[in-house]
Amino acid sequence: MPGKVLIITYYWPPSGGAGVQRWLKFVKYLRLYGWEPVVYTPENPEPPAFDVSLFKDIPEGLTVIKQPIWEPYRFYRKVIGAGKNERINAGFLSEKKAPGLAQKFSIWLRGNFFIPDARKFWIKPSIKFLTEYLKYHPVDAIISTGPPHSMHMIALGVKKNTGLPWLADFRDPWTHIDFYDQLMLSSFADRVHHKMEQQVIHAADKLVTVSSSWETDFKQLGAHNTAVITNGFDPDDFPESTVQKPDNFILTHIGSLNKDRNPEFLWKVIGELVRSNELLKSQLHIRFIGKTDISVFESLERNQLLDFTEKIEYVPHDTALKLSSESAVLLLLINNTPNVMGIIPGKVFEYLASHRPILCIGPPDGDSASIVKEANAGPIVDFNDEDSIRNAILDLFSKYLTEDAYTDRHSIDKYSRKNLTKDIAELLNEMMINKKKK
């Protein structure tokens, strides 16, 4: 039954960052379950980072189809005063200064004219190219993964032209994404976004997302045949080794950290503890790896913590994992936004695989908290709960002082990329069975 599947994705090596990991790893393991992946991706994308270390995960002999894409980022850089080679951050993250009028204007343009996103100009050429390509290189199913949701619009066009079974994978929501209300949309633009979203969720044969809460949201929007397949970790990225106690009480956050994830109350409490606890002061080290919003450093400065802070720019994925394993505590900071319950940052699974304590800040009944709790991986503290965060920090510091390693963790095998790829393959098999019934 299994066969070939076309995967439409904007993010692919040498692109780096969280967006590339999910489907790179699925592609790595799909052949184990009888499916031969074929990847369609831009020839000249504008990713937030590059990471050539990810090439090692691309299976030998994989067919990767690349077509040129035009994106309006040259104009965007002029509007916001960015340099010609400066990378554009995803979401709403400003590393240098608070957004000015030019940046706010660019956000308004983005939301109202580039619908569904800045890759919209790739939709029609891609539909035309793929429709013709598939006549001579047939596949059995198609997959699109977004954001950017232009990938879903490409798949929608290919589906209409070919009738192929289609799985739409939402790594993040569309109109329910955390920054949707910050796009300054006109009523017309809002209607267009919702119309496109409805077209995708009703035309897709299977809709996949990464958390139970987001699946519920999609069902309320009218989606059918939904499934949850979380992100995960690849055991190949975590060779067996003895977990060593780090030399300092290092609190590490890996990945993008925008304003909505900045836990002001955490820095306030740590600042108070440093001023009253000389031992903690002598051991504390706060480390940020990746894009970090300027608001975070402003909070740290207010709480006299900049001297304890280290900022590391984007590093290759394997380096980031090594740095996480050398930490005393890994910070899992959930966006304090309306869709908070379903947010599961992809990093949580690699945090789990690193066997370091996790400090999760977010709703105790949210989907991220459930995963941390199930794995017995560390404390969970609600937003602005200063008493609980104080107790959590002191308890983690006490364990750091008295224990050599943190390895007491319940099984997380179900989150391995290989097992999750099996789930994807089963959905593809199900779509093929349903096609034969029609």
The dihedral through the CA atoms of 222, 107, 211, 208 has a sign that is positive
Residue 174 tokens read as: 């569309």
- Residues 228-246 have pLDDT tens digits of 999 999 999 987 665 678 9
Residue 109 tokens read as: 């343009």
Residues 308 and 199 in one domain: no
Instruction: Decide if 84 is inside a domain.
Output: yes
Whole-prediction pTM value?
0.90
Residues 310 and 397 in one domain: yes
- Residues 261-275 have pLDDT tens digits of 999 999 999 999 999
Instruction: Give burial (CB, 10 Å; 0-12/13-18/19+) of 242.
Output: exposed
Q: Residue 183 in contact with residue 149, Cβ under 8 Å?
A: no
Instruction: Decide if 320 is inside a domain.
Output: yes
Per the listing, tokens 């040498």 go with 14
Query: Is 90 exceeded by the pLDDT of residue 410?
Result: no
Residues 257 and 359 in one domain: yes
What local confidence, expressed as pLDDT, does residue 126 receive? 98
Residues 345 and 365 in one domain: yes
**What's the domain count of the chain?**
2
Residue 267 tokens read as: 């820095």
Residues 32 and 124 in one domain: yes
Instruction: Decide if 157 is inside a domain.
Output: yes
Residues 223 and 97 in one domain: yes
Residues 222 and 87 in one domain: yes
Instruction: Decide if 412 is inside a domain.
Output: no
Residues 228 and 269 in one domain: no
Residues 248 and 205 in one domain: no
What local confidence, expressed as pLDDT, does residue 103 receive? 66
> pLDDT band at residue 437, thresholds of 50, 70 and 90?
confident
Question: Residue 335 sits in a domain of what CATH number?
Answer: 3.40.50.2000
Q: Residue 129 in contact with residue 69, Cβ under 8 Å?
A: no
- Residues 316-371 have pLDDT tens digits of 998 999 899 889 999 999 999 888 899 999 999 999 998 899 999 999 999 999 99
Residues 203 and 258 in one domain: no
Residues 303 and 186 in one domain: no
What local confidence, expressed as pLDDT, does residue 417 receive? 97
Instruction: Decide if 407 is inside a domain.
Output: no
What local confidence, expressed as pLDDT, does residue 92 receive? 46
Q: What's the domain range around 258?
A: 235-402
- Residues 124-135 have pLDDT tens digits of 999 999 999 999
What local confidence, expressed as pLDDT, does residue 93 receive? 46
Residues 226 and 260 in one domain: no
Of the listed ranges 3-17, 28-42, 136-150, 335-349, the least confidently predicted one is 335-349
- Residues 139-156 have pLDDT tens digits of 999 999 999 999 999 999
